[in-house]
Amino acid sequence: MRIMSKWRMYAEFADGSGHYYSAGSEEDCMYLIASDQAKHGECLMYTGVNDEDYVDGEYVGRENFIYS
């Protein structure tokens, strides 16, 4: 059984790295991204994850995902 976070985001930083962040809320993900700027430099881009489990960063679950 997989345990999924309520929110998942992706960010890219000035040092060229990209990282995924999982947390209980969008605000918590944003806090984690802001905190990582001390390690990786300025956040250049962030977005909510879109895949079969997440829509715009929010967990919907595979069984509820709408394929368009």
pTM (predicted TM-score): 0.87
What is the per-residue pLDDT for 12?
Answer: 98
Alpha-carbon distance of 15 to 1, in angstroms, equals: 35
Name the nearest CA neighbour of 8 among 27, 24, 21. Answer: 21
Per-residue pLDDT averaged across 23-42, rounded?
97
For the chain, give the mean pLDDT. Answer: 92
10 Å CB burial of residue 47 (0-12, 13-18, 19+) is exposed
What is the per-residue pLDDT for 1?
Answer: 59
